[in-house]
Amino acid sequence: MKDLCKNKNLRILFAVTLMAIMGVSSIIPSLPLMIRELNISPSSIGLVFTVFTLPGIIFAPLAGIFADRIGRKKILVPSLILFGIAGIACYFAPDYKWLLALRLFQGIGAAAIGVINLTIIGDLFTGQDRIKAMGLNASVLSIGTAIFPAVGGILAQISWQTPFLLAVVALPLAWVVAFKLENPEPSSNGAFIKYLSAAVSGMKNKQVLGLFAISMLTFIILYGPIITYLPILLNSRFEASPMMIGFVISSASFVTALAASQLGRLAKVISQPRMIAVSAFAYATAMILIPESGSALWCIIPVCFFGLGQGLNIPNSMSMLTTIAPMEQRAIFMSMNGMLLRVGQTIAPILMGLIYSGFGLESIFYAGVVISAIVFVIAITTLKGFKAEELHE
């Protein structure tokens, strides 16, 4: 574990991971301020996330194909640059329409970031080291999701626009990736049709399809009840400030970081599919308890259950997927997963907005219970054939 923490390439990828989540987690505490100052309804605030995640549905698969064919860094570096420039421009948006347009461009840059960094981790490591690396990466992601809402809450005290300036960090990071990251690149000498046919054939695997479905459903829960509507519940029911909202949501990330950092040890006593199944119970527990909380601080307990689910689910799902995918097709596997993840991110605010309009705020969290149950069923029916020995390549 210590050796992995000291790996220069992995540390650079950790920084890329932080960029992948910055575009959402840093602006969560600003949502109530945006609703008030931009004069928009709570049911439409989710568009701030929807237009950001929507480009991933189209551009994530394209990024994966090009990353397999021409190289990982040749796609990752321009994506970081676009993400940074468009993010900074959001600070200067004069109204909601301009903000949505700029978020769309930032989302195009973000589409490749989150999938290519995981692809490179899969390229660099195998077996137990891959599980550990994915777990460490998930821990860093969780620390970022803990820090960014808190930092965003502080910056939102200045104005709702200020958190968008954090995207400037992506620009120097693009230089670091271009000139300091040392990663293997896939061979792309074969015919494109043959490459595409092999990738499609590999994705028909029952385990791959199950992992794809779990990713999409997980991010419906994350971007619906947690990211979009938990801040609204905290503000409307408890009059929580942006700083308090950031603190409550950040609490989940510490549990996620702890669970994810121990995946290497946990994998020796419990299978990865079972850990994913357990995560579904943690999600359901969170969704049941959040509407029953009596104060903003009491919401920390169910939010931590959600964090536990994330720590058991996300890094295991990513590790399993990179294990199944061959290197020459790994980026398109990860990008297809990223596309479905973006589908979940994109439809979650819209779906939950409809539920909110028809049945009220609490019903959003009960819908999350149903989705959690579906995740459990998929995990136990499609992933059970994944063997531990596959981790020792």
What integer pLDDT is reported at residue 307 of this predicted model? 93
SS percent in the chain: helix, strand, coil, step 5: 85, 0, 15
Signed CA dihedral, 339, 124, 327, 272: sign only: negative
pLDDT at 387: 63
- In sequence order, what are the residues at sequence separation of 6 or more whose Cβ sits closer than 8 angstroms to the Cβ of residue 43? 353, 356, 357
Q: Is the pTM of this model over 0.85?
A: no
pLDDT at position 1 is 47
Rounded to an integer, what distance in angstroms lies between the CA atom of residue 7 and that of residue 121? 11
Residue 289 contacts by C-beta under 8 Å, 6 or more apart in sequence?
Answer: 301, 302, 305
* Domain spanning 13-182+193-391: CATH 1.20.1250.20: yes
Q: How far apart are the first and last CA of the chain?
A: 19
Mean pLDDT in consecutive groups of 10 residues from the start of the chain, 393 residues: 76 92 85 86 80 84 90 94 95 91 93 89 87 88 81 88 94 96 81 88 92 95 90 89 81 86 85 94 96 92 95 92 90 88 83 90 95 96 71 40
pLDDT of residue 302: 96
Residue 81: the pLDDT is 96
Residue boundaries of the structural domains of the chain? 13-182+193-391
Q: What is the C-alpha to C-alpha distance for residues 290 and 227, in angstroms, rounded to an integer?
A: 13
Alpha-carbon span 379 to 384, nearest angstrom: 7
Would you state the pLDDT for residue 189? 63
Contact 356, 363 (CB under 8 A): yes
